[in-house]
Structures are given as C-alpha cells and as structure tokens.
C-alpha cells in the first residue's frame, strides 16, 4: 500500500472512538470497570436469549456491540460549535436532532453528532452528545461578559487538526497517514486538564451562577465528560454495579423494563471530585476541586414513530407529574412501580407495535417469500405478506437521545441545589445558525430506513403488486 491510499470516514471514526476509549480509560479507571461489567452482562444475556442474539445478528448490531459508545461534551461558543461540526464530518458524523435542556434548568441546547446511514451505523455508531452553553441565560451582566471574554480567547482545536479538516474539505478525503495524525490531533480537544485557565475566585463566581457554566468556561477545552457503553440488560447491570464498588443514581431514566425494549434506558454514577490547580494574575496557584466526569450505561430499544413517541412522552410526563423522584432515592421504588403501571398502556409485543404504527421496523424478504414470489403466489398487501411469513420485520434501533433523560443525567451530576428556572427557551434557529447547518430530523431518518428496507424487500420478492395501506 502506498502512503497515499485513502481511508473511509467510517474507518477514521472507528480509530477515533478507540483512541477516545483508551484515553478515557486511562483518565477514569471506573470507566474500565464499567465496560468490563457491561461485557459480562452482555455475554450472559446473549447466552440466555438466542432470539435476541439472532435478531441483533440480522440487524448488524451484534458486531458493533462491543465497541458501541456515546460520549458527551459541552462547548462554550457558536464558533466552537461551527468548527466541531467540521471536525466530526471528517469522521462521517453529522448533527441529528435538537435538544433544549433549558426547560429542565440546564443552560444548554444540544445536538448529537452521529453517522446517519445504515451501513455507517452498522460499522460503528459512535455518537457524541454535544451541548452549547447559553451565556444569555446568565443573569449577572458582568459575569456574562467575563465568561464571554474568557471563551472568546481560548482555542480548543490544534492548528494541525484545523489544517487537516481543511484538507478533507478540499480533497473530500484523507490519506491514511493524514487520518492517523488527525485522530491524534482531534483527541487533544477532548482531553482533561488538571489546570484551570481562570482564578479560583472567578471559578467560584461561575460556579455560583451554575456549576455547568464553571465546567465550560474554566478550562482549556471541552473535556469528554462520559463515555457510555451499550448494555443489553440494564437492570442486571444496575444491580451488579454496587458489587463492583460503583454507586448508580437512584432511578433508571427512560421507559420501564419491558419485553420489547423501546427507545433508551440509562443510568449513571456520580461525577468524581477531581483536584484542579487554579492560578491568579500574580502567578500564585491554589488547589481546588471540580466535578465533571461520570460514568453511564444505556440499553437501546426500538425507535418510535411520532405517534409512539407522543404516547411515550405523555405516559412519562404523567408519572413525573405525580411522583417526585428524590435524588436521595427515597421515592425511587414508588417511581419505578408507577412507571411500570402506566406503561401498561404501551403495547409490548412487536406485532402490535407494528400494526398500530408505534415503532419503526426494518423489513426483509424471507426464503419462503422469495420462493412464493418465484411462483407468483404472493398476497397483495404488506400486512398479508407479514402474516404469511413472506416478509420479516425487525425493530430499528433508536440511535438518539431523550431530552428528559439527558436532563436527569445532567442533574444527577449537578446535585439537587442546581435546579434553576430558565423556563422553556427553545431556540433551534440560533443553534443552527451557530452550527452553520440544519440538524437532521431523526424521525425522518428512521422513516427513510424503514421505507428503503421495504422497497428492497419487495424487489427481492419479485416486485409483486402491493397495495400500501395507510398506516393506522
């Protein structure tokens, strides 16, 4: 191979995800413990559930499982957001979805950078939940101005990383050696810094405004704050955490345990208190602490249609309205019981989820269907093809995030005293202006994947005449 052979963005993403995982394991040893635990739970779950194993295998999820991760960063400015979009594009990651967390008392709005087409997702679905601090939500005008000044002066990307982004944008690709360098340079942006760029006094003022503001403004760059592996049985993992010396938050975020997993269930352990060196203008240093980095695991289920999502949001909101979850966990059991009770209204078998138009599925032609197609013996509707075993449907995994869960994760790491009341101040237009692009609509991506799988399957069946029934 010559030095000039080029490398696919999917491969750069895989290298980057590995490098990030190695870096985080070295920085936060509990992450290593957590990934081992997840590996054990996944091996047990697969050994005990051959149907699940087959399904994941058919969907290409088995192969990606051991490396599947998401991480999160918090940026300070629109310029940083703009540039991170260009950096992630080198790795085939694009902004999907808009999350407004101000409604939950967290002064950020966010998107998720991730691969978007099926083949890229199958290779490595690495995602980074990326938030931008909303300085306009800081009330104190002087502090707001100081934070803006500090952020405007920092450079979170190395010059060489930016140069290589430029090469990618003009050439449309990188050579293998450029890609290796790009991964090393890009990684620097996500590194932890034990030195703060501000004085302890400034840090304390920022911290009083909101702990998250201090986290973003006081450091040289947007350290990766967690890296989350995907677990196949989150209840088993949650139960096993304390045996390995890790204390999880009181409740699992998201839907309750079900036979047919939907969306996303997550749990985390509290952020570590880490020593930080602060320096004041006269060069004297002081040692303080900061908490930012934590651990999280997640179980992913089927992506829901707009109708399914509405049902999910309504059921979850009804529980949260009626049962307050104390951070101390005093009401955790009431919450779990109530959640399970109310979600009885959400169908829990694949056939009903499909028939009622609540979830997205990937269709495939079965051998029996292909044989029947050759003999021109196929029924004329999708439903009949499914009923007669000529078309198979498998759940499309949810690749995104949930704003209520994300707020819960943010908050469990900030502590109860950090509840602020910003009200809902969704501002997708301003976010996209900073980003320099529109975010992809995740629902449209799932709908497209479902449609494409159906179209392909019908071709495999010999293109029978199908009357498409409007979905219920």
Q: In the complex, which residues of this chain contact ligand OOG (CB under 6 A)? A: 72, 74, 129, 131, 225, 266, 401, 405-406, 409-410
Q: Give the shortest CB-2-to-ligand OOG separation in angstroms.
A: 41
SS (H, E, C) 334-375: HHHHHHHHHHHHCCCCHHHHHHCCCECEEEEECHHHHHHHHC
Residue placing its CB nearer to ligand OOG in the complex, 293 or 362: 293
Q: How far is CA 425 from the centre of its chain?
A: 22
The packing angle between helices 78-90 and 9-27, to 10°, is: 120
Residue placing its CB nearer to ligand OOG in the complex, 21 or 225: 225
Q: Which does 457 bind (CB under 5 to 8 A by kind): ligand OOG, Ni ion, none?
A: none
Q: Give the shortest CB-266-to-ligand OOG separation in angstroms.
A: 6
Q: Give the shortest CB-20-to-ligand OOG separation in angstroms.
A: 14
Positions in the binding site for Ni ion (CB under 5 A): 228, 296
Please state, in angstroms and rounded to a whole number, the distance separating the CA atoms of residues 125 and 397: 11
Q: Which does 77 bind (CB under 5 to 8 A by kind): Ni ion, ligand OOG, none?
A: none
Q: Which does 405 bind (CB under 5 to 8 A by kind): Ni ion, ligand OOG, none?
A: ligand OOG
Q: Give the shortest CB-314-to-Ni ion separation in angstroms.
A: 24
Q: Which does 111 bind (CB under 5 to 8 A by kind): ligand OOG, Ni ion, none?
A: none
Q: Which does 251 bind (CB under 5 to 8 A by kind): ligand OOG, Ni ion, none?
A: none
Q: Give the shortest CB-114-to-Ni ion separation in angstroms.
A: 13
Residue placing its CB nearer to Ni ion in the complex, 178 or 228: 228
Residue keyed to tokens 């399957």: 457
What residues contact residue 124 under an 8 Å CB cut-off, 6+ apart?
10, 13, 14, 17, 64, 67, 68, 115
Longest dimension (CA), the chain: 86
The packing angle between helices 78-90 and 428-435, to 10°, is: 60
Q: Which does 131 bind (CB under 5 to 8 A by kind): Ni ion, ligand OOG, none?
A: ligand OOG
CB atoms within 10 A of CB 430: 15
Q: Which does 74 bind (CB under 5 to 8 A by kind): Ni ion, ligand OOG, none?
A: ligand OOG
Tell me the DSSP string of 95-132: EEEEEE-GGGT--EEEEEEE--SHHHHHH---EEEEEE
Please state, in angstroms and rounded to a whole number, the distance separating the CA atoms of residues 248 and 270: 7
Q: Give the shortest CB-401-to-ligand OOG separation in angstroms.
A: 5
Q: Give the shortest CB-129-to-ligand OOG separation in angstroms.
A: 4
Residue placing its CB nearer to ligand OOG in the complex, 319 or 409: 409
């Amino acid at each position: 191979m010559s030095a000039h052979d080029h490398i696919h963005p999917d491969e750069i993403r895989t290298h980057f995800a590995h490098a990030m995982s190695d870096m985080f394991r070295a920085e936060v040893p509990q992450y290593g413990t957590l990934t081992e635990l997840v590996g054990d739970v996944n091996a047990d779950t697969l050994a005990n559930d051959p149907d699940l194993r087959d399904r994941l295998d058919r969907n290409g999820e088995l192969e990606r499982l051991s490396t599947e991760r998401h991480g999160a960063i918090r940026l300070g400015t629109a310029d940083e957001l703009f540039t991170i979009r260009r950096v992630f594009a080198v790795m085939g990651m694009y902004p999907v979805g808009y999350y407004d967390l101000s409604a939950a008392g967290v002064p950020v709005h966010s998107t998720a950078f991730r691969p978007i087409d099926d083949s890229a997702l199958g290779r490595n679905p690495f995602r980074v939940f990326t938030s931008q601090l909303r300085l306009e939500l800081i009330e104190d005008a002087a502090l707001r101005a100081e934070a803006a000044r500090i952020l405007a002066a920092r450079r979170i990307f190395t010059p060489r990383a930016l140069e290589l982004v430029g090469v990618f944008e003009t050439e449309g690709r990188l050579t293998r050696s450029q890609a290796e360098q790009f991964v090393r340079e890009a990684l620097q942006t996500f590194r932890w810094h034990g030195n703060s760029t501000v004085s302890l006094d400034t840090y304390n003022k920022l911290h009083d405004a909101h702990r998250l503001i201090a986290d973003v403004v006081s450091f040289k760059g947007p350290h990766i704050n967690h890296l989350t592996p995907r677990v196949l049985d989150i209840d088993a993992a949650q139960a096993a955490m304390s045996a390995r010396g890790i204390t999880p938050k009181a409740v699992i975020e998201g839907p309750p345990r079900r036979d047919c997993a939907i969306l996303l269930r997550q749990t985390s352990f509290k952020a570590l208190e880490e020593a930080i060196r602060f320096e004041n203008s006269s060069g004297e240093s002081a040692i303080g602490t900061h908490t930012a980095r934590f651990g999280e695991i997640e179980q992913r289920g089927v992506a829901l249609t707009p109708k399914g999502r509405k049902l999910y949001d309504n059921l979850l909101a009804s529980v949260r309205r009626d049962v307050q979850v104390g951070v101390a966990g005093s009401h955790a059991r009431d919450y779990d019981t109530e959640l399970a009770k109310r979600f009885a209204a959400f169908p829990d078998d694949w056939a009903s989820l499909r028939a009622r138009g609540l979830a997205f599925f990937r269709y495939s032609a079965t051998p029996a269907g292909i044989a029947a197609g050759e003999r021109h013996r196929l029924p004329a509707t999708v439903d009949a093809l499914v009923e007669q075993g000529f078309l198979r449907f498998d759940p499309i995994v949810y690749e995104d995030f949930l704003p209520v869960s994300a707020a819960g994760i943010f908050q469990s790491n900030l502590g109860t005293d950090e509840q602020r009341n910003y009200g809902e101040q969704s501002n997708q237009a301003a976010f996209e202006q900073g980003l320099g692009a529109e975010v992809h609509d995740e629902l449209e991506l799932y709908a497209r994947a479902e449609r494409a799988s159906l179209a392909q399957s019908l071709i495999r069946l010999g293109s029978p005449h199908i009357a498409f029934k409007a979905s219920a």
